Amino acid sequence: MISPKLVEVGRHTHIELITNAELVDLKGEPGRFTALVRKRPRFVDLAKCTACGECAKVCPIETRNEYDEGLSVRKAAYKLYPQGMPGAYAIEKRGTAPCKATCPAHVSVQGYIALVNQGRYREGLELFREEHPFPGVCGRVCHHPCEGECTRGGVDEPLAIRELHRFLFDWERAAGELAVPAAAEGRSEKVAVIGAGPAGLSAAYFLARRGYRVTVLEKLPVAGGMMAVGIPSYRLPREVLEREIELIRRLGVEIRTGVALGREVTLEGLQAQGYGAVFVAVGLHGGRRLGVENEDAAGVLQGVEFLRRVALGEAVEIGREVLVVGGGNVAVDVALTAKRLGAQSVTMVCLERREEMPAWAHEIQEALESDIRIVNSFGPKAFFIDASRRVSGIEFKSCTAVFDENGRFNPRFDESACQAMFADTVILAIGQTLERGGLEAAGVVLRGPGLEADPVTLQTPVPWVFAGGDALYGPKSVVEAVACGKEAAESIHRYLNGQDLRQGRPRRWEMVRPEAIEEPRRRRVPVRCLDPAARECNFLEVSYGYDEAEARAEASRCLRCGVCSECYQCVKACLAKAVDHEQREETLEIPVGAVILAPGAEPFDPSRLENIYRYRTSPNVLTSLEFERLLSATGPTQGHLQRLSDGREPRRIAWLQCIGSRDTNQCGNSYCSSVCCMYAIKDAMIAKEHAHGELDCTIFNMDIRSFGKDYEKYYNRAIRAGIRFVRSRVHSVDVLPETGNLSLRYVDEAGGLKVEEFDLVVLSVGLQVPRATEETAARLGVRLLPSRFAATDPFAPVATSRPGVYACGVFQGPKDIPGSVTEASAAAAAAAADLAEARGRDIVRVELPEEIDVSGQEPRIGVFVCNCGINIGGVVDVPAVRAYAEKLPYVAFADENLFTCSQDTQEKIKEKIREHGLNRVVVASCSPKTHAPMFMETLEACGLNRYLFEMANIRNQDSWVHADDREAATRKAKELVRMSVARAAALRRLESKTVPIHKQALVVGGGVAGMTAALALARQGFPAVIVEQEAELGGFARRLHRTIEGTDVQAALRELVAQVNAEPRIRVILAARITGFEGFKGNFTTTVVSGPGGSPERIPHGALILATGAHEYRPREYGYGEDPRVSTQVEFGDLLARGETAGLQTVVMIQCVGSRNAENENCSRVCCQNAVKNALALKEASPDSQVYILYRDMRTYGLLEDFYTEARRRGVIFIRFEPEAAPQVDFGPEAVRVRVRDPILQRDLEIAADRLVLSAAVVAADTAEISALTKLNRNPEGFFIEAHVKLRPVDLPSEGVYVCGTAHGPKLLSEAVAQAQAAAARAATLLCRDAIRLSAITAKVDPEHCVKCLTCVRSCPFGVPQFSEASRVVEINEALCRGCGVCTAVCPRQAIRLSYYEDEQIVCKIEALLSEEVA
Amino acid sequence: MRLSYPANVKIVLVPCTGKVDVMHLLKAIQMGADGVYCVGCLEGACHYNQGNLRCRERVERVREILQEVGLEPDRVRMYNLSSGEAPTFVAYAREMTELIRRLGPNPLKNSQPAIRVEEAA
């Protein structure tokens, strides 16, 4: 239902849609506002996206589908629903996940984990390598700071992020593949990297991927730096490292080992060899000395050197007892290596306490597992040496503090507490230093212990030389070296291209997390390791890593913090290149004249009432919105009625009304949400239709409020259909564990406690204004009511407290769709009045070239076959279809396009039309519903008549629905194209007739609605004529005194009349009668006779607004008119206004007099509030009086509910009655005796009243005459029938005619005012134009063949064909014809043809299809 | 929703099923279509008030004619659905195809099954 509106809004040239946006601030005055709009990124370019959906297909992230109320999942790349506007997809990205933000290399961790979760390992590995060349190395040795930030850590344990990328590497290795990343086109510039450690190799990797020629020079005989000679092979097997270095080599990087800067090469020499830049990353390969006596004795080794020598395979002598000095990771590696070399006992001694040790916890753990003794809080004092000057032990002094009060390393010792330890080998692992030899001489600038360079750009004082890695910033981990190498590559790239090195750096990373996490606890999948005993005396890898099942299980624990994981699969999949992950939030400043707030409502969240309704506990307790999705053909069960707990079809469903409405106790929403009764009835009816077999539907309610136009009829239908209505508020829901059924406990009207069991419970949740809207309103200075709806006045229902800002829809107050749509138009009218001066100023007008005359030309058809990315091309053999099309009759040209709807293809089509002299165009692509208008515009833009166009829908009708059979799909595509080509050849140019508009409206009725409509038009600049049958303006409102809110109706009415009389654009004709009406939209003529004996006046007008009003029913019931003590509510209002109610002791009011009965089935909508209003007024005037209101359902909908509550608080007594037990009234001399059965007390009551007040129905004014003249239909109750109840609530079926006020149905003054403004807005859409272009698709009579049988006259649903007495033929006015073609089909002589759908234009398709078969 | 249905269904677009002529349906059968069905709005929900009801009358008329000339009336049928009911559309397409398969090829022309749909715009 909503689709056409969406398409219209989306395509409208005067509407700019800004989605993902929020109004932040509004400055200035009405007519001259500046709106500040914050627009969040969509990450998809609207201009490029063709909505093919490939991004969603490849997206690995599944998240809650809010369109299905969370009952299904959707992808992070998504389109909320098929008809969504704009049609483009969007990517939901909350921000950067903590893992990616924390990773020094900023690997898209969430991304590769999502891909692992889907088994897409190759893509996962590729994604990892985008940012990091060492998934295997870091998969083993990384200190994984990411895991420390992992959100899952707050739930149970962080994800094993490191193990998962190690798995990817292992998977590729096991598969025997090595996927070398893509590199940019080769460039001529050469870059040298000094040092083949992780920093140097990373720089080389990223530079090579950018196309540079990179040479890495390494001093050692092997590449890898500390990865090769620092990290022992039991932690990092050499073949792992070698594979990753091999990949860098395959990118074209040359690695030369045994070449040292300052020894074999100098910077000058490199420059001479043509290197444009150098990156120096030589690492820290020297050991730090203790500075203690006898440190150089035999048997004392340096840790770094020790590890290097072991790694290089040199024979290293080691004794039985080994002492390792140091508490860092290197010390642990040294200790474990010594152990594996055969040392009997290894003891680590360090200054720090255990918890202060710089080694990572898991390394310490591993050391302890391998029987390494760790002695804390001691520092070496002196070395013991034996006679051969060989070391034999160390005397240690105890360390009292390692760090000073400033946190700096500044150890203090207690020299008195010493301890001696003996060993035959001592290995010092207390730090690393730069091996400076030759560096300075080679031209590198040193500073302090390392190299000198800018910490951000890494540029050294020698501009073409960059430096990084441990040698720059001290000992750090592999991943930090990778990050540094990547930055170096970026700097060098910028440097070589003359770009600013500093712009946008360092990039700031802000992490996001989901707000509330409700996740079942799931422990991390443990990593299997080599048994500690099996680690001795060998260098086998300790950790086995994950197998595939373990990796998938672990990956599924990810909480998807960022929603979008930035895996970039969508970027690759999008052939239109529409995905842009770099989009950022922007703030727009938009000059506007008026603002309309239509922010809508949210459903009440019943989780807050969990202890009563068990919404969270039971999957069989649904909100009404969830249930609607369950009934929808596009919903999670495709419309199959079933329980989500067990898939069983329910047999008994209960609806609980007023959840989050009419409830000050539990939720604070005192108002009635107005819509829940009707939607519950509707859903129950639909559920019955969907059910297989019997379905019991029970609606638990306090009152059924079917107060809208014709709603009561629907309610009665529901009762007849067997839907049970129980008047009770259910007080508890219990889940029955065996069946999942729900047991409801409630008290029935008679006070009995009942328990009933249901399969499914639907909570009819109410509407409320979201907190975010409240904040927006506060920012804009728009006043809200305590209920959080916008504060408005009954006579200005869409104006907020801030001038120039208007409200409509549920934000204005709870209401249904017709009410919302009406108010939306009303707000448009109010805004248009503010903008009247500027109307038409900023709109874009399209100038069209003169039409090319193709008459008499043989058809020359151009066929454009669309691939729609791979939507069509992936199934249908598009080249074959194009080739086939080329050979079809009259085809002059055929082509295929990636996206035929893209802007550049439109240009191409224009070019081809001109180049090949095409006079017909066929596009074989998607649905003409969405795309034909655009292609037709393309035709017009190069002078071709827009009707010389035809579409073959080879997507929706073919590739999408026959994807399983490519051959059949291709065959069908050819057939569809053949049919379209045949039709194209039969098409003719059509002319859309243009008729001028008479820019004036005629308003029938001078009541509040009529006057408001006329004023709203006049304020927009359009003249209006009010035709009123009475001798004065005001209508029924003259009988009213106050609104329930307290507004003085007479004062407001006087003001309104004064405004009308003062408005020069309004002419008022009083005491008038309409005697004639003719014409069509834009060009009506109404004949009006004013006063007795007046002469008829013919008034031309472009639009007609009917505001003929209604009056109060004159009851025939309850002695009205017979006994003076009986009056209607309106008459009682007169008494109250005149103060003539003093002395009344007891008043009884009876509701629904003349409504909801056999004669008038409908509810009169206003009487309940009228009774409450008068009861309150009486209580106010005479507090001691007693008021009884006898009612059937109290229908104080929306915010009126508060007055009902107030009346009860003030002691008004409400007694419900059933229509079959209606009150009985006797008129005694002293009192009116009213007898009624009280359903709660279960007995008859008798009330002796002074006065009986009847809430009489609203009866439509007598409009028989005008209805006959205008051929506008009324319902049996005499109210005009609108064109579409929901979408066009103020339009009448004849175009250019509108209705407002009680002429449409009973309504409150405020509602009549809104509808009047709406009618004015609708009329203005017509009157604002100088002329209208009529549709060219109309029926035409051939007078030669017409035999004047008048079948068409009788058949036309709109009464358009007329027999003209003047010309003696049947004529069809093309301004009135809707183009349905009914007349053409009924004409026995086939004398009528419908343009664009002529018989031969339909039959030719049939012939084309059936005349041949496609091979 | 991209639900799959038999590829032998080809759609001819008309503004309203009320536009469908007896002649259109007979033409299709005469030229060898194995079946033709019209898909209109739900009864009571015609955009043009009663076009779908008129179409149903014409379909009935064509079925009578088929009966008279010795062809199976079920080769021509009328269905109703709303535009949001993709699964129903598919169900009807399958039902019609199954029906036609049981009836066999149109004796007026020996061709493989080809079914056409007339649908309201």
List, as one string, the DSSP characters of A1137-1191.
HHTTTTT--EEEEEEEETSSSSS--S--SSHHHHHHHHHHHHHHH-TT-EEEEEE
**A811 touches A789 (CB < 8 A):** yes
Q: With bands split at pLDDT 50, 70 and 90, how would you rate the model's confidence at A724?
A: very high
CA dist A134 and A480 (Å) reads 12
- Tokens of residue A231, six digits: 């990290």
DSSP code, position A252: T
Q: What does each C-alpha distance from A375 to A355, A379, A1176 come to in angstroms?
A: 12, 10, 88
> Looking at domain A1339-1411, which CATH architecture does it have?
2-Layer Sandwich (3.30)
- d(CA A884, CA A67) in angstroms, rounded, equals 42
Which residues in chain A have their CB less than 8 angstroms from residue B23's CB? Answer: 1399, 1403
- Report the CATH superfamily, name and number, of domain A190-284+435-508: FAD/NAD(P)-binding domain (3.50.50.60)
Interchain CB contacts (distance < 8 Å): A and B: 119
- Give strand pairing partners of A734: A743
- Main-chain phi, psi angles of A1393, to 5 degrees: -125, 145
Give the long-range contacts of residues A151-157, CB within 8 A, separation 24 or more: A151/A98, A151/A513, A151/A514, A151/A517, A151/A559, A151/A561, A152/A519, A152/A557, A152/A558, A152/A559, A154/A517, A155/A517, A155/A519, A155/A521, A155/A559, A156/A521, A156/A522, A156/A523, A156/A524, A157/A523, A157/A524
H or E segment at A1062? Answer: helix A1049-1062
Q: Do B24 and A1402 touch (CB under 8 A)?
A: yes
- CB contact under 8 Å between B10 and A975, yes or no, is yes
Taking only the tens place, the pLDDT of each residue in A1216-1268 is: 999 999 999 999 999 999 999 988 888 899 999 999 999 999 999 999 999 98
pLDDT at site B117: 64
Asked if pLDDT for residue A1293 goes beyond 80, the answer is yes
CATH superfamily, domain at A98-179+514-532+540-555: Alpha-helical ferredoxin (1.10.1060.10)
pLDDT for A916 beyond 90: yes
Q: Is-contact A816 A608, C-beta < 8 A?
A: no
CA-based nearest distance B102→chain A, Å: 21
Token pair belonging to A38: 């914050």
**pLDDT value of residue A1414:** 54
pLDDT tens-digit map of A469-508? 999 999 999 999 999 999 999 999 999 999 999 999 999 9
Closest CA of chain A from B4, distance in Å: 4
How many C-beta neighbours within 10 Å does residue A846 have?
A: 8
d(CA A628, CA A632): 6
Identify the band that residue B121 occupies on the pLDDT scale cut at 50, 70 and 90. Answer: very low
Tell me the pLDDT band of B119, cut-offs 50, 70 and 90: low
- For the cut 80, the answer to whether the pLDDT of residue A675 exceeds it is yes
Provide the b/e sequence for A191-223 (b: ≥16 CB within 10 Å). bbbbbbbbbbbbbbbbbbbbebbbbbbbbbebb
- Please tell me whether the peptide bond between A506 and the residue prior to it is cis, using omega within 30 degrees of 0: yes
Q: What is the mean pLDDT of residues A880-890?
A: 96
In three-state secondary structure terms, A1036 is: helix
Q: Nearest Cβ partner of B7 from A632, A972, A1394?
A: A972
Most confident option among A261-270, A832-841, A1065-1074, A1359-1368: A1065-1074
Best B36, B48, B92, B111 residue to mutate vs chain A (most A CBs within 10 Å)? B48
A86: preceding bond cis by omega (within 30 degrees):
yes
Contact A310, A302 (CB under 8 A): no
The shortest C-alpha distance from A1130 to chain B (Å) reads: 39
| Topology adopted by domain A1113-1259 | FAD/NAD(P)-binding domain (3.50.50)
Per-residue pLDDT tens over the stretch A253-294: 999 999 999 889 999 999 999 999 999 999 999 999 888 888
**Min Cα–Cα distance to chain B from A1, Å:** 8
Examine the pLDDT at A537 and tell me if it is beyond 80: no
Look up the CATH architecture of domain A862-956: 3-Layer(aba) Sandwich (3.40)
Summarize pLDDT for B12-21 with one digit per residue, the tens.
Answer: 999 999 999 9
Exposure string for A169-178, b = 16+ CB within 10 A, e = fewer: bbbbeeeeee
Nearest to B19 among A960, A971, A1394 (CB): A1394
Contact yes or no for B48 and A1357 at CB 8 A: yes
| Distance from the B96 Cα atom to the nearest Cα atom in chain A, whole angstroms | 16
C-alpha to C-alpha distance for A1332 and A716, rounded to whole angstroms:
44
Residue A530 above 90 pLDDT? no
Q: Which of A212, A233, A316 is closest to A539 using CA atoms?
A: A233
Q: Which helix (H) or strand (E) holds A996?
A: strand A994-996
In the predicted model, what is the mean pLDDT of residues A351-368? 91
Q: pLDDT class for B85, splitting at 50, 70, 90?
A: confident
Domain ranges of chain A: 98-179+514-532+540-555, 190-284+435-508, 295-431, 602-630+650-768, 862-956, 995-1109+1263-1333, 1113-1259, 1339-1411
Instruction: Give yes or no for residue B83 having a pLDDT over 90.
Output: no
Identify the top-confidence range among A527-536, A573-582, A1367-1376: A573-582
Q: Has residue B113 got a pLDDT over 60? A: no
For residue A963, list chain B residues with Cβ-Cβ distance below 8 A.
2, 4
On chain A, the residues whose CB falls within 8 A of the CB of B47 are 1380
Please say if the pLDDT value at position B112 is more than 60.
no
**Same fold: A602-630+650-768 with A995-1109+1263-1333:** yes
Q: Shortest CA distance to A584 belongs to which of A59, A100, A50, A95?
A: A95
Length of chain A: 1415
The token pair that represents A362 in the structure block: 């898991």
Position B1 confidence tier, pLDDT thresholds 50, 70, 90: low
| Sheet bearing A742-747, strands edge to edge | A732-735, A742-747, A753-758
Domain A602-630+650-768: CATH superfamily is FAD/NAD(P)-binding domain (3.50.50.60)
Q: Which long-range contacts (CB under 8 A, 24 or more apart) does A344-348 make?
A: A344/A320, A345/A320, A345/A321, A345/A371, A345/A373, A346/A322, A346/A371, A346/A372, A346/A373, A347/A321, A347/A322, A347/A323, A347/A372, A347/A373, A347/A374, A347/A375, A347/A421, A347/A423, A348/A324, A348/A372, A348/A373, A348/A374, A348/A375
Residue B110 has pLDDT above 70, yes or no: no
Q: Shortest CB distance from B3 goes to which of A961, A976, A1384?
A: A961
Q: For residue A1200, what is the DSSP state? A: G
pLDDT tens by residue, A229-242: 999 999 999 999 99
pLDDT of residue A917: 93
Looking at residue A443, its pLDDT comes to: 86
- Shortest CA distance to B24 belongs to which of A1385, A195, A697, A582? A1385
Which single residue is written with the structure tokens 């088994």? A119
- Average pLDDT in chain A: 94
Percent of the residues in chain A that have a pLDDT greater than 70, as a whole number: 100
Asked if A453 contacts A459 with a C-beta cutoff of 8 angstroms, the reply is yes
Q: Looking at the predicted structure, is the pLDDT value of residue A1280 above 60?
A: yes
Residue A1143 or A1173, more confident: A1173
pLDDT of residue A130: 96
pLDDT at A1391: 94
Pairing mode, strands A920-925 and A891-897: unpaired
Q: Judge: A1382–B32 Cβ closer than 8 Å, yes or no.
A: no
Provide DSSP, chain B: ------TTEEEEEES-GGG--HHHHHHHHHTT-SEEEEEEPPTT-BTTBSHHHHHHHHHHHHHHHHHHHTS-GGGEEEEE--TT-HHHHHHHHHHHHHHHHHH-S-TTS-----EEEEEE-
Burial class from Cβ neighbours inside 10 Å (0-12, 13-18, 19+) for residue A1238 reads: middle
- DSSP labels, A890-939: TEEEEEEES-TTSHHHHHHHHHHHHHTT-SEEEEEES-HHHHHHHHHHHH
**Is residue B111 pLDDT above 50, yes or no?**
no
CATH number for the domain running over A995-1109+1263-1333: 3.50.50.60
Class in CATH terms, A295-431 = alpha beta
Give the pLDDT of residue A840.
Answer: 85
